[in-house]
Amino acid sequence: MEIFSNMLIYFVIIPVLTLAGLALTKNKGIDAIRAVAVTGATALVGLAVYLVVYFLHARAAGDTSDMILQTSVMWYEPLNIKLALGVDGVSVVMILLSAFIVFAGVFASWKMDPLPKQFFLWFFLLSTGVFGFFISVDLFTMFMFYEVALIPMYLLIGVWGSGNKNYSAMKLTLMLMGGSAFLMLGIIGIYFHSTSTPGEYTMNLLDIAKNNAIPHNWQMFLFPMTFVGFGVLGAMFPFHTWSPDGHASAPTAVSMLHAGVLMKLGGYGCFRIAIYLMPFAAQQLGWIFLTLTGISIVYGAFSACVQTDLKYINAYSSVSHCGMVLFAILMFNSTAMTGAVLQMLSHGLMTALFFALIGMIYGRTHTRDIREMGGLMHIMPYLGVGYVIAGFASLGLPGLSGFVAEMTIFVGSFEHTDMFHRVFTIAATTSIVITAVYILRVVGKLLYGAVQDEHHRSLTDADATERISTATLIIAVAIIGCFPNFFINIIRDSFTPVVQALTSVM
Amino acid sequence: MDLNLIMYLIPSLIMFGCGVYGFITRKNMIAILISLELMLNSVDINFVVFNRYLFPAQQEGMFFTLFAIAIAAAETAVAIAIIINVYRAAKNVDINQITKMKF
Amino acid sequence: MPLSSTIYVLAIPLFMFLFLGLVGVKMPRKITGVIGVLGMAVTTVWAYAIAFTYFFGNGEGQMLDGVRQQVVATDWTWLSFYADKLVVKLGVLIDPISAMMLVVISTVSFMVHLYSLGYMSDHDGNPEKGFQRYYADLALFTFSMLGLVVSTNIFQMFIFFEMVGVSSYLLIGFYYGQQPANHASKKAFIVTRLADLFFLIGILILSFYTKTFDFKEIMGANGHDVCNAFTSAQGLTFMGCSVTAWALTFIFIGGAGKSAMYPLHIWLPDAMEGPTPVSALIHAATMVVAGVFLVARMFPLYVLEQGAMDIICVVGAFTAFYAAAVACTQSDIKRALAFSTISQIAFMMTSLAVSSANGKLLGGHEAGLGYMASMFHLFTHAMFKALLFLCAGAIIHAVHSNENSKMHGLHKFMPITSIAFLIGCLAIAGIPPFAGFFSKDEILVACYEKGIGWGLWMSMVAGMTAFYMFRIYYLIFFWKKHEVHGEHAPKDQPWTMTVPLIVLAIISCVAGFAPFGKLVTWDGAQLETHMNWPIAGASVGIALIGIGLATMMYWKENPLPDKLATMFKGLWTASYKRFYMDELYQFITHKIIFQSISKPIAWFDRTIIDGFFNLLGNVTNSASFGIRKMQSGNVQGYVSYYIIGAVLLAAVTGVVILCF
Amino acid sequence: MESLGNVIMYVIIALTIIVFSVLAVTTKKILRSATYLLFVLLATAAIYFQMDYEFLGATQIAVYAGGIVVLFVFAIMLTHKPGEDAAPITSHKRTLGLVACGAGVLLCGAAMLGYAKFCGQSLPSMSDFTIDSLGKMLLSTDKYGYLLPFEAVSVLLLACIIGGIVIARKR
């Protein structure tokens, strides 16, 4: 089979094999379950790193095509649906991010109880969807993998969650499903306008972009559909409310994977499908969504200021940061878009780190209310320092990833020639102060000060697996923060076709 | 005065309407079955009348009615057997009372 | 020592930070301290060597036609926003001010490192908990500050602005278990962050028009050749002001946050919750002058934009007076010193700003005198203010309190400290031949050149400086006999703490004779400075009046201060409460931002937006429950619905057919 | 032009059907209901005779009037005490039933009357359709042959017989 000679397919096959391996383990054999999960996650990280190397090598060797490693296999002839694979710089780094977070997530759910086997089964099914989404270039398979990634969320939250988990799981799934209903409408619409010669409809987005056949009036209808569809997942105001509840109820690893990777599907889809395929409507309607995302940024930050639940704080902070991703994508220039991808990377790692730490703290203190905790730095210095580093990454300390991403976004956005966009950029920059306010508020209440609850004094610091989980993420955050050019060089050229498409309709 | 198609259809329609009314309002199972027979009968009339007036050269409507009568007979027989059986179990043929097998 | 090796001056503290932070935590505390001090010693020597090479060596490209050139020693592309333009580089730019700053930072930092060995230990001389963290953070701060001063571009400067902000946050919050330190660190970070926001906006505007971050590309070599993009952008206006004025004002606000200019000064007095050596290093000598350094670095641009310069001038002059007025009444010695710092930095700011009028430098052949004076004062102030803070630290370590009511009459117990403190006071008051006299004199000359009003105003503030410094001095060391509490009588501290005092005292005595005009000027050309005797004499006279007044009021215990305080009760209370600036900020943050913005937004989110989606869910739910009743299992019901439905369908179809 | 006898005959049939249909579903006594049904069925048979379908009319009388109604009567006898009144109909159900049947009748009636002008012709003559040809058609497999349904119905009836026994037999 031709398809198996393409390494990309293994990003789907490895999780599936892991699923099979997990299915073979016994329910009680926790060691075997862990071993299979770690093997799968490690293989994914290895493959992702190899993919980055391969990509750089291919680019260095002069491969200038939009996507490398393209393969296309007919899947369903009557509708011309293909299993089409291909990656560009953006997908490569997103795959790397996903692999890292899956890896850290496995370690963060080391002591998962009850039903560890089933947990990991759903966990890896979710990963299958995520990886499948990033390697596909066919609208149908993208949508399919998107749904594969969504559904396990319901069970993962509903079964292994905490607090008001049924409500949250239902809300999250329904809202995201609502989004995907819009999305499906958009995709079907795109399909039927994918070509100017009738009867040769295609789902391959590269072909669709090349044909450039979607009429302008249809673009005006389909663009909002797809953008809102992905925007729901990207926590765009006012469709973000699933995020605080969902994150608050989800178990640690799921929060990590969800905020770290799944929300990125939104941003990725927005630019890869909505903007790339419908540049005219993007130019026409961009300002509406720019306003919404601008609101998200400031609104999320302000909301986070008064929350008392650690996970809520982080969820609202995610709303703010993910708003920045969409905000930057809507600036339509390659620097801002590069910044958006960096922000996805940065937010993914940093939020995953946050959720991992919150999960570890919650596992010890059994509360997430910052009013009931204090002075934890005295008791668990490792976790405390990790939390402070995550906080610094979030508020944009140079040397950590957040700074690089935000600055790239701000500089890129401010290069926009339109005054409206520049003024909006300035409004968005205020978030860096508000972010500092809520991050330091939490750090001050949670870690500093006197120990609030004397029972907390007997708690222990992080153990080995927890250290692996957090250290992986901290190192990744620091690497992006210290050597941003490495990533920028991978990412930036991928935006050339999009920006060309956008400028051609100006 | 001509006896045309419509003139046969009108009693048939009223018969059907009565069947519907009876089927909805009656509580007694046998009465419901009777209403059902009314409806069937009205349909039979329509078949025959349409056949006779519009396609006198062919006999499909007639045959349809013939078979419908046969099937109605079979159906009634089975239905009444069931009703009697139900009565044996519940001492009642009122549909509102027989809810044991519901849910 | 080649200038390109400056990178190691930065690399050593960075390495020390990582080493002490990661490995040092596992090592004995004392050893980490010693390693930290040794590392800093190497850095200091190296920095001296670099400065010496730059000022007195004659390496390639250093001197050109008698003008000292800027040298870009290293430049590494760190982040490229656009492939060819807008590139952020991390590099080393050596020019007179950065070479001078290298010396200042490394000297003070080394002194503080050494001093902390003694200060950060308990009664028995054992290092405190968190000792390793303390040294790691100090190293991080030193690295950030050094990186800031050698920045080759404005974005690198911004990066290190953030870094010093964070290391300051970490050090102020060193005693994180105590609530005041916790609050103070938060406040310091957020206020400076707010300022940095404006700095960032300024950078964005500036880079949008000039398409570069690089100082050399914007201002040309030595600031003589401001790029065309900037001058043409001066013609563009936004809301009535030129865009460059906006940009430079925003950048100044960024500097004002770090340099504690009114009204962004409020974090600095609170920052005194940190350990005293940290206050000496960060909040007296180095970080707080970052703003001054920033304006000095972009001086050629500010000269072209008189509007921004005027704003700086007004803000500086007002802050100098305001802080001096507050310092006169503070009872906490560190806070008094903090306000003194604010006032002195405002002197430097004003001095920079008075150098130009109508887009031209003032002063004929002494053009740029204000700039030189400002840098000179920066240098001397760093030395004597660090000295004063370290003395204060020694006192606090001895009496375990910041309040001067707990001190009084310490002269007999701590003679070395007392003399060192006196030298610091004389220096800051501007008494010859101590360092402050020379630098402050240059500043006053520059002010008088700008206008007689500016000169008189600043002279008055100089007099107030002398008054409040000696007030503090007398209240600590004299006033009345010291009451010994407990077993330990206060005494001079161990050698690790006294040696830095002595070294800094000596520097404070002699630094004024440094030929600054020959070394540090805005464009690298040498500047002949002359003592302006009338002004110098007058300022010494004013200082003496201030000292005399202080002596009269505070030398011996007497009821005069209390009487004055009751006589001007409102004024005194207002000054003691720092003219209610903290209360105002408290009101803005808590009442406006938290209560009036965040809370309503959170409520809106939970109630309106979430409520809407919950409503959708509930409507669907109740609709389902309504429909569920129809599915009753009642065949008669089904038939009736079926019939009605069929009839409706038929009716609709009929109507449609009839209509079309 | 129809003969007067036919018209009179039609009027009687139509009135019988209408009146007894209504009575069959409104009477309170179930046995009466079955009796009224019998009249309706007989009237229907009369229509078939009028249409010249003698065999069909005969079947109607034999199977329906003779067989089914008797079955009803037996069933009623078995399950009801004599003279028992049916439970009164709830007003809710009556409304629902009236609405459903009224709407249906009105709509269909309206539609029919709308087409009335197309149905003006009187009964057309029917070419020789005898019992003989009917029997042949029932058992032929040609075009217009009904062997398959005939056999199917016979199987159905057999199934019914067996089913009836199985259901009604005493356990």
Task: Decide which of 1.20.120.1200, 3.90.1150.10, 3.40.640.10, 1.10.150.120 is the CATH code for D1-86.
Answer: 1.20.120.1200
Mean pLDDT in residue range A222-230: 90
Touch between chain D and chain A: 3 or more Cβ pairs under 8 Å: no
Q: Do chains B and C touch (3 or more CB pairs under 8 A)?
A: yes
At A466, the pLDDT band (50, 70, 90 cuts) reads: confident
pLDDT digits (tens, 9 = 90+) for A254-282: 888 888 888 888 888 888 888 888 888 88
User: Which tokens sit at A295?
Assistant: 């609101």
Q: Say if residue C501's pLDDT is above 60.
A: yes
Read off the pLDDT of residues A416-448 as tens digits, 9 standing for 90 and up. 888 888 888 888 898 888 898 889 888 888 888
Name the closest residue on chain A to residue C194, using Cα atoms: A433
Tell whether the model's pLDDT for residue C302 goes beyond 60: yes
Inform me whether the C-beta atom of residue C562 falls under 8 Å from chain A C-beta atoms.
no
User: What would the DSSP string read from start to end of A433-483?
Assistant: HHHHHHHHHHHHHHTSSS-S-GGGGG-----HHHHHHHHHHHHHHHHHHH-
pLDDT-derived band at B44 (thresholds 50, 70, 90) equals very high
CB nearest to C78's CB, from A242, A302, A485: A485
A60's CB contacts (< 8 A; 6+ apart) are: none
Closest chain B residue by Cα to residue C636: B24
Average pLDDT over residues A493-498: 83
Contact C150/C94 with Cβ under 8 angstroms? yes
How close is the nearest chain D Cα to the Cα of C660, in Å? 17
For residue C109, is pLDDT > 70?
A: yes
Measure CB to CB from residue D103 to each of C637, C644, C654 and give the nearest one: C644
Q: Does B90 touch chain D (CB under 8 A)?
A: no
CA distance A394 to A346: 9
Question: What does the alpha-carbon distance between residue A357 and residue A349 come to, in Å, rounded to a whole number?
Answer: 12
Per-residue confidence (pLDDT) for residue D122, from 0 to 100: 73
Long-range contacts of D77-86 (CB under 8 A, 24+ apart): D78/B84, D78/B87, D79/B30, D79/B83, D79/B84, D79/B87, D79/B93, D80/B93, D80/D30, D80/D31, D82/D31, D83/D29, D84/D29, D84/D30, D85/D28, D85/D29, D86/B26, D86/B27, D86/B28, D86/B31, D86/D28, D86/D29, D86/D30
User: Could you read off the pLDDT of A384-404 as tens digits, one per residue?
Assistant: 889 999 999 988 888 888 898
Please judge whether D47 and B70 are an interchain contact, meaning their C-beta atoms are less than 8 angstroms apart.
no
Interface residue of A303, A376, A387 to substitute, partner C, most C CBs within 10 Å: A303
Q: Give the nearest partner residue to C81 out of A170, A175, A412, using CB atoms.
A: A412
Q: What residues of chain B lie within 8 A of the CB of D123, using their CB?
A: 3, 52-53
For an interface test with B, give the residue of D42, D44, D115 to mutate (most B CBs within 10 A): D44
CB pairs under 8 A between B and C: 14
- Interface contact flag, C204 A410, Cβ < 8 Å: yes
Average pLDDT over residues C356-375: 74
CB contact under 8 A, B34 and D123: no
pLDDT in tens, A86-98: 888 889 999 998 9
Note whether C101 and C38 are within 8 A (CB).
no
- Overall average pLDDT of the C569-584 stretch: 74
Q: How far apart (Å, rounded) are the C-alpha atoms in residues A443 and A438?
A: 9
* C51 contact partners, CB below 8 Å, separation of at least 6: C99, C100, C102, C103
Residue C568 has pLDDT above 80, yes or no: no
- The DSSP call for residue A197 is S
What's the domain range around B40? 5-90
Quick check: C188 and C166 in contact, CB under 8 A?
Answer: no
Going by pLDDT thresholds of 50, 70 and 90, the confidence category of residue D119 is low
- Residue B23 covered by a domain: yes
**Residue of chain A whose alpha carbon sits nearest to that of C166:** A397
In chain D, residues with a C-beta closer than 8 Å to the C-beta of B6 are 112-113, 115-116, 119
Which range, of C338-342, C380-384, C476-480, C499-503, averages the lowest pLDDT?
Answer: C476-480
* pLDDT (average), residues A286-292: 89
Mean pLDDT of chain C: 83
**pLDDT score, position B67:** 92
Residue D145 has pLDDT above 60, yes or no: yes
| Closest by CA position to C121, among listed C478, C413, C496 | C496
* Contact present, C and A (at least 3 Cβ pairs less than 8 Å): yes
Instruction: Give the C-alpha distances (Å, rounded to integers) separating B18 from A90, B24, B26, D21.
Output: 72, 10, 11, 6
In angstroms, the separation between the Cα of residue A223 and the nearest Cα of chain C is: 23
SS3 C611: helix
Q: Answer for the pair C389, C337: CB distance below 8 angstroms, yes or no.
A: yes
Yes or no: say if D29 and B27 are a contact pair by the CB < 8 Å rule.
Answer: no
- Taking only the tens place, the pLDDT of each residue in C73-108 is 788 888 888 766 788 888 888 888 888 888 889 988
Amino acid B45: pLDDT? 93
pLDDT at D120: 64
- Domain segments of chain D as ranges: 1-86, 89-123, 130-171
Residue B95 in any domain: the answer is no
CA-CA-CA-CA torsion sign (D40, D43, D45, D50): negative
Count Cα neighbours of A252 within 13 Å in the Cβ-side half-sphere.
25
**pLDDT grade for C363, boundaries at 50, 70 and 90:** low
Contact D100 C636 (CB under 8 A): no
**Optimal mutation site among C636, C640, C642, C647, interface B, most CBs of chain B within 10 A:** C636
Among A312, A331, A407, A479, the residue to mutate for chain C (most C Cβ within 10 A): A407
- Read off the pLDDT band of C519 (50, 70, 90): confident
Distances (CA, A) of C50 to C45, C72, C92, D33, D161: 9, 13, 12, 120, 116
| Of C154 and B4, the one with more pLDDT | C154
pLDDT band at D36 (very low <50, low <70, confident <90, very high): very high
- Nearest Cβ partner of B15 from D40, D63, D153? D40
C363 or A258, which is more confident: A258
CB C218 within 8 A of CB C173: no
DSSP conformation letters of C342-411: HHHHHHHHHHHHTTEETTEE-SGGGTTHHHHHHHHHHHHHHHHHHHHHHHHHHHHHHHS-SBGGG-SSGG
Which one of C634, C635, C647, C656 would you mutate to disrupt binding with D, by most D Cβ within 10 Å of its Cβ? C647
Residue type, A455: H
DSSP structural state of residue C528: -
Query: End-to-end CA distance of chain A, in Å?
Result: 44
Count of domains forming chain B? 1
Quickly state the pLDDT bin for C226 (edges 50, 70, 90): confident
Q: Is residue B24 part of a domain?
A: yes
Residues C534-557 have pLDDT tens digits of: 888 888 888 888 888 888 777 777
Q: How far does D104 lie from chain C, in Å, by closest CA?
A: 6
Which among B24, B32, B102 has the least Cβ separation from residue C633?
B102
Contact list, C210 vs chain A (CB under 8 Å): none
Segment A22-41, tens digit of pLDDT: 888 877 778 888 888 889 99
ipTM topping 0.90:
no
| Closest alpha carbon to A169 in A190, A152, A187 | A152
What's the CATH code of the domain at B61?
Answer: 1.10.287.3510
Tens-digit pLDDT profile for residues C16-59: 888 888 888 788 888 888 888 899 999 999 998 888 888 887 76
pLDDT for position A307? 86
Among all residues of chain C, which has the CA nearest to that of D92?
Answer: C637
The pLDDT assigned to B41 comes to 93
Chains B and D touch (3+ CB pairs under 8 A): yes
Within 13 Å, how many C-alpha atoms sit on residue C75's CB side? 14
CB contact under 8 A, C601 and A426: no
Contact A451, A320 (CB under 8 A): no
CA distance C76 to chain A (A): 11
**Among the listed residues C424, C413, C414, C306, the one whose alpha carbon sits nearest the alpha carbon of residue C360:** C306
Contact A414 C204 (CB under 8 A): yes
Task: Say if residue C366's pLDDT is above 70.
Answer: no
CB C143 within 8 A of CB C14: yes
**Interface chains of chain C (3 or more CB pairs under 8 Å):** A, B, D
Rounded to an integer, what distance in angstroms lies between the CA atom of residue A219 and that of residue A226?
10
Residue A359, chain C, CB below 8 Å: the answer is no
Quick: pLDDT tens for D44-98: 999 999 888 889 999 999 988 888 999 899 888 888 887 777 777 778 888 888 8
Tokens of A363: 């596992």
Q: CA–CA separation, D148 vs A280, rounded Å? A: 65
Judging contacts by C-beta atoms under 8 Å, the chain C residues touching residue A416 are: none
Q: Does C239 touch chain A (CB under 8 A)?
A: no
Of these ranges, A246-260, A311-325, C629-643, the one predicted with the greatest mean pLDDT is A311-325
Q: How far is C290 from chain A (nearest CA, A)?
A: 17
- DSSP SS3 for A204: strand
